[in-house]
A and B are shown apart, each in its own frame.
Chain A
Amino acid sequence: MKKNAILALLIAVTATAFGNDSTRVKKSPAAHINEDDVTITLPQGFKTTVVTNGLGKARHLVVAANGDIFVKLEKLKDGHGIIQLHDANGDGKADKTTGFGNYRGTGITIKNGYLYASSDHEVFRYKIDEKTAKVDTGSVQRIVYGLVGKNQHETKPMVLDNDGNLYVNIGAPSNDCQVQDRVKGSPGQDPCPILDSAGGIWQFKADKANQSYADGVHYAKGLRNVMGLDWNQQVNQLYVMQHGRDQLYQFFPDLFDQKAGAENPAEEMFRLKKGDDCGWPYCYYDNDKHEKLLCPEYGGNRQKVDRCADKTHSIVQFPGHLAPDALLFYTGNQFPEKYKNGAFIAFHGSWNRAPEPQEGFYVVFVPFKDGMPSGKWEVFADGFSGVKAAGSTGRAKHRPCGIAQGPDGSLYVSDDVEGTIWKISYNK
């Protein structure tokens, strides 16, 4: 006992001595921002600034007209599900961090004087003064409720058009609508009952409180899960990124070897119009055959097209399992001309490519002209994972999840591992 007391005293002395060491640098308010955590690689002329970090599961984000950033969290931080970041001195770093909203979720956007935010079942909105980014939290209105949000693909990302409509993704709580989800050998349900209330995009009125399925329009179906969606202002249409199904190699090794299972199916971008059916769970896009084909759970053999012939086709295809979590059409003037109206996509990074190395964890750019891709996609911002080739997804230090555009044309990227927010800007 006496020995313990002496040890405790020694520790106290040691700690005090260090604490009083005046040569150590005092922490400035922004010193918690660890800039050297990872190095983000970008094309010539672009640079990143770490706006903040440590927000935790930072999902989608939006920037108000004054430059304040609103981030939606999937795990509450200090009891808050929405974080507001304010940069007082214009150095790109957040000087003031506040929060409100006591629910978890992913979706957040601003339109016509309202901030919209979603839980995994509902959509809320708040009055916001866009010039000062002052949110009237007391004005909260529930716009949509009662949406399917089970234990898979439960997040509700959303976007608004210019005609007072809100588009909400309702992801399918399933991999490919098998009788027994994710069980090898279990057949696909035909027709798939999930499609009645999930696996698609629903349209609601942006300004009407308490809507649910009966008030909405089943805008597009056959989309397994959509995290990235944006309204293209040039052609006035909705574009979405679908997360393709998993486990082709694990369930159908006779059709897909290890490599083919990692590369398939494609992660796809769709240009949607009302009534479109993109084919899930019956169809997938085969990256080796360059064709939309019938899924093996529904009798497919990597050759049969069958009922997939008349489904809506995607306009861009990416390698399998990269997990496109955000889509943004760039309308700013800061970046060089080639980026104007093009698409930025945040890829969260794969898990179902194992035992092949994981892939993704980057932001991609796709050039566009008149609403259609005008060139090949390229990696725009990379290095978020902080590891050369991640064998295991959990090793990634950061995973891009959201993209937003600031009023000066800068891009912002969120990460839901540590909750880091980066600003990407261009200087000639």
Chain B
Amino acid sequence: MKATIITLTALVFFVATAFITQQTKPSQAKPKQPAAGAAPKAAMDRGKKVYEAVCLACHQPDAGGVPNMNPPLIKTKWVLGDKKALIKIVLKGLQGGEININGDTFNNPMPPQESTLSDQEIADVLTYVRNSFGNKASMVNLAEVKAMRAKLK
């Protein structure tokens, strides 16, 4: 029995390793340098401050959100996907109920931040959120926020 388990464990390990090796092959070809748009530390530090002052109360210290009320910011398409849509949410807010993650809805309104946060602060906090809590995505820069604010005027 014991021998069987050891053998099977070894087999599973071998199988898994083989698959992982195969799947990671393409990315090994890429040069080992930060991807274009990686977040600089200064923006991350400024963004963290904004997050703690403005976002943390509802989205929580771990960005895990509050069930049924405030959505999580971890690995969701809302945070990692279309930057324009994300910037618009921060500027204009949401009524509540629009966010649906795997069939769960979140009902508290998102207050608009257009009059409370500067373009730089919005760029910084979104860069921070998109690159913290297990997230990894391109940074949001000042010009992108400026352009969206102008478009929504």
- B-binding residues in A (CB < 8 A): 3, 7, 10-11, 13-14, 17-18, 23, 57, 74-75, 150-152, 154, 180-184, 247, 249-250, 351-352, 354-355, 391-395, 399, 416-417
Instruction: Name which of B65-73, B83-91, B141-149 contacts chain A.
Output: B65-73
CA distance A21 to B108 in the complex (A): 50
Chain A at the B interface: SS class: loop
Interface assignment of B152: CB less than 8 Å from any CB of chain A: no
Question: Which B-chain residue is minimally distant from A353 (CB atoms)?
Answer: B57
Residues in B whose Cβ lies below 8 Å from that of A250: 57
Please provide the chain B residues from 43 to 67 with a CB less than 8 Å away from any CB of chain A in the complex: 52, 56-58, 60-62, 64-67
Assess whether B57 is in contact with A14, with CB atoms less than 8 Å apart: no
Distance A203 CA – B141 CA, assembled complex (angstroms): 54
**What B residues does A74 contact at CB under 8 A?**
68
A249 cross-chain contacts in B, Cβ below 8 A: 57
**Given A7-B15, A182-B111, A183-B111, A392:B64 Cβ within 8 A:** yes
CA of A392 to CA of B97, assembled, Å: 21
Cα distance, A3 to B8, chains bound together (Å): 19
Partner of B19, one of A7, A23, A417: A7
Please give the distance in Å from A418's CB to the nearest CB on chain B. Answer: 11
Q: Is the CB of B64 within 8 A of A152?
A: no
Q: With both chains docked as a complex, state the minimum distance between the C-beta of A348 and any C-beta of chain B, in angstroms.
A: 10
Q: Answer whether A154 and B107 are a contact pair too, CB < 8 Å, given A10-B11, A17-B8, A354-B60.
A: yes
How many Å lie between the Cα of A133 and that of B109 in the bound state? 40
- With known contacts A18-B8, A183-B112, A394–B62 Cβ distance under 8 A: yes
The answer for the CA separation of A324 and B38 in the assembled complex, in Å, is 44
Measured between beta carbons, the chain A residues less than 8 angstroms from B96 are: 150-152
Q: Which of A10, A184, A394 contacts B64 (CB 8 A)?
A: A394
CA gap between A11 and B12 in the complex, in Å: 7
B60 touches A394 (CB 8 A): yes
- Expressed in whole angstroms, the minimum distance between the Cβ of A390 and any Cβ of chain B is 9
Decide: B60 and A351 in contact? CB cutoff 8 A. Answer: yes
B95 at the interface (CB under 8 A from A): yes
A351→B1 CA distance, assembly (Å): 50
Q: How far is the CB of A259 from chain B (nearest CB, A)?
A: 14
Q: A151-B96, A351-B58, A392-B61 are in contact. Are A181 and B109 (CB under 8 A)?
A: yes
Question: Is B76 on the interface with A (CB-CB < 8 A)?
Answer: no
- Measured in the bound complex, the distance between the Cα atoms of B18 and A13 in whole Å is 16
A10-B15, A18-B8, A394-B67 given as contacts; is B107 within 8 A of A151 (CB)? Answer: yes
B65: chain A residues within 8 A (beta carbon): 393-394
When distances are taken between beta carbons in the complex, the residues of chain A under 8 Å from B107 are: 151-152, 154
Q: Is the CB of B62 within 8 A of A351?
A: no
A181 neighbours in B (Cβ, 8 Å): 109, 111
In the complex formed, the residue of B with least CB distance to A120 is B107
Can you sample 23 A-B contacts with CB below 8 Å?
Answer: A10-B11, A11-B12, A14-B8, A18-B8, A151-B107, A151-B108, A152-B107, A152-B109, A181-B109, A182-B108, A182-B109, A184-B111, A351-B69, A351-B70, A352-B57, A354-B60, A355-B56, A391-B60, A391-B62, A392-B60, A392-B62, A394-B60, A394-B72
Q: Give min CB distance, A101 to chain B, whole Å.
A: 18
Residue from B61, B66, B111 within 8 A of A391 (CB atoms):
B61
| Nearest chain A CB to B105 CB, angstrom units | 8
Contact residues in B for A416 (Cβ distance below 8 Å): 67
Does B4 sit at the interface, judged by CB under 8 A? Answer: yes
Determine whether B134 belongs to the interface, using a CB cutoff of 8 Å to chain A: no
